[in-house]
Amino acid sequence: MNYNPHSIYDIKKQLENKKLIPQKRFGQNFLIDNNITSKIVDLMDLKKNDLVLEIGGGLGGLTSKLLDTKAMVLSFEIDIGFIKILKEEFSNYNNFILIEGDFLKNFKTNSWKQYIKENSRVIISGNIPYNITKEIFDCLFSSDFQFDIYCFTIQSEIVDRLFALPKTKEYSYISILSRFNRVLKYKFNIDRNNFYPIPNVTSTVVIFEKKRLFELNNFELFVKISKSLFLNRRKKIHNNIMLSTLLSDIEKNASVKVLDILNVDKNMRGEEMDIDFIVKFSNLVYENLIPVLSKYQDSPYKDR
């Protein structure tokens, strides 16, 4: 690289030369500890045939170390100024692809899947901005595509929500979806002084590893039910289902029927349901939908 992305002096000089100011809304706090960056990359144990999606290339500190592993790196960057820097620094790398624009929009197009090679692992990594952490996790964990490894640097308090157990205030549908066929591992904290500009929070590195833990009849239905159960934390499970805008009328009716089959107290709240129950509940709802949906040729669940 033409500058040291882990040097405050070089970062300030680069920003000044490019007339750039770190944007809080994009979570532009750059990790300035070279050893910690290396440690994060080592956690992923990348191989040449791997594909890595990097959320937010920024000034290229993590990007450069990912490229050194020889894995194919797809770096998503929304800031025009940093896009220019990434092009200047890495355009001559044959294992670097820059995807310009908003990560969430680009991810949903699925165009990035064209770079997946046969038998290659697919990994996603990045320093996730606090203000869009929920949106990114919602997008990733609601997707039926499972990465082999998810390696993120996130605000430490978000970790509490990921590890949250039923009947706690931090427990949510993200707690449920993140655990579906994944094992979450806490790795280490990063002091805020290791970033420039210095954020107001401590960060934590976490990894999700793909592991088959549950069998589902229909993933889309499982996601909709999980979200519906937490639409309003104060409402009972029955009310959340019936008021859900995510579920169709026939899905609502099937869900209520399954509550009766399972002899579930309809006054319970979603936060009391663990993932084992929600998987079981979702599968039974799907089974009760089959006789009805089979009548409709355009059923969203037909032949899945």
Question: Position of tokens 């040097």?
Answer: 7
What class, spelled out in words, does domain 219-293 have in CATH? mainly alpha
Residue 93 and residue 69 in contact, taking contact as beta carbons nearer than 8 Å:
no
**Token output for 110:** 């699925």
What are the pLDDT tens digits along the chain (304 aa)?
Answer: 888 999 999 999 999 999 998 887 777 899 999 999 999 999 999 999 999 999 999 999 999 999 999 999 999 999 999 999 999 999 999 999 999 999 999 999 999 999 999 889 999 999 998 889 999 999 999 999 999 999 999 999 899 999 999 999 999 999 999 999 999 999 999 999 999 999 988 999 999 999 999 999 999 999 999 999 999 988 999 999 999 999 999 999 999 999 999 999 988 999 999 999 999 999 999 999 988 766 554 545 543 3
The CATH number for 8-210, chosen from 3.40.800.20, 3.40.50.150, 2.40.40.20, 3.10.50.30, is 3.40.50.150
Q: Cα dihedral sign for 81, 53, 156, 4?
A: negative
Q: Are 204 and 153 in contact (CB under 8 A)?
A: yes
pTM (two decimals): 0.92
Spatial distance between the Cα atoms of 61 and 284, rounded to a whole number of angstroms? 48
* Per-domain residue ranges of the chain: 8-210, 219-293
The CA distance from 24 to 11, in Å, is 16
